[in-house]
Amino acid sequence: MQKFVGTGVALVTPFNEDLSVDFDALRRLVNFNIDNGINYLVINGTTGESGTITKQEKEEIIKVIVEENKGRLPLVLGVGGNNTQIVVDELKSLDLSDIDAILSVAPYYSKPTQEGFYEHYKAISLASPKPIILYNVPGRTSKNMEPATTLRLANDFENIIAVKEAGNNQQQYLELLKNKPEDFLIISGDDDLALGVVLAGGSGVISVIGQGLPKEFSRMIQLGLEGKNKEGYEIHYKLMDIVNYIFEENNPAGIKAVLEKQGICLDKVRLPLVTATEELQTKISDFIDNL
């Protein structure tokens, strides 16, 4: 699954002043990332504010990204939730002909056991016509999917090809990397740990900051994949502050402030999220001016 090696980005959903979807800005964002070295695009993830996007908007967003992409990069679509049956039904009803893989977040709020995680993803595996990337993000779901469960799924289901691991837990990454099946991909979901994960044998990253600084971030990951740790860390240290800034208040308010600064989209987010404070916007703006 070479197409998911390198830098993927979890695209934001740009909004107009009235909070309707800004499709022109979405097209700009897609091209900005393709032109600057990103390897694949992720649609309708948490960073895309999937929780406040309607079914109709989701369909239109997919259509516009597919049109603008013109087959240039692989596309990954977020299809997940904490009602297994609804996820299964959605997989059966969606037109996935232009989608290369599904990113499915671990069930949030419900706090299932490890067996519950396994059965949830088993049902998704049996229903999905496309390869599946598991997504473990305990900071958002409130329950960690343990490495043993991830590896059990990797071994038992051929169409489960990767995990986006976002536990911000170095030990957990290493356990996955040490014990994974040979062709199973460990993808970092933590921008701050991504280079270290790649140098330890990871396949890359699904990034938030990557879409705001695609040239720099994708170059850093590429250097990591080539084992050039010194050159990679030179870029990592340059980007450390901005990675911290974008997660300081909420995601995607931070990254949208980065994108507004670059003239790609407005910084608008839908409630219950609010735009970045003036203080944070100033820090982000100064960082980009100095970069």
Region of residue 141 (left: phi > 0; alpha: psi -120 to 50; beta: else): alpha
Specify the pLDDT at position 236: 98
The whole-number pLDDT of residue 101 equals 98
Residues known to be catalytic: 135, 164
Question: How many angstroms separate the Cα of 2 from the Cα of each of 39, 49, 100, 186, 287?
Answer: 10, 28, 12, 12, 33
pLDDT at 212: 98
Q: What is the chain's Cα-based Rg?
A: 18
If DSSP codes are grouped into helix, strand and coil, which group holds residue 239?
helix
Residue that is written with structure tokens 């997919």 in the block:
62
Q: Which amino acid is at 15?
A: F
Nearest in space to 10 (alpha carbons), one of 202, 219, 256: 256
CATH superfamily of 6-227: Aldolase class I (3.20.20.70)
> Are 106 and 123 a contacting pair, CB within 8 Å?
no
Contact between residue 53 and residue 44 where contact means Cβ atoms under 8 Å apart: yes
In degrees and rounded to multiples of 5, residue 103 shows phi and psi of: -105, 120
Which residues fall in the annotated binding site? Answer: 47, 206
Task: Name the residue ranges covered by the structural domains of the chain.
Answer: 6-227
- Sign (positive or negative) of CA dihedral 175, 140, 111, 85: negative
- Of 100, 6, 93, which Cα lies nearest the Cα of 58? 93
So what's the pLDDT on residue 231?
Answer: 98
Which residue ranges of the chain lie beneath pLDDT 70? none
pTM of the model: 0.98
pLDDT score, position 1: 74
Helices (H), the chain: 23-35, 55-69, 84-93, 114-127, 138-141, 147-156, 170-179, 194-199, 214-225, 229-246, 253-261, 278-290
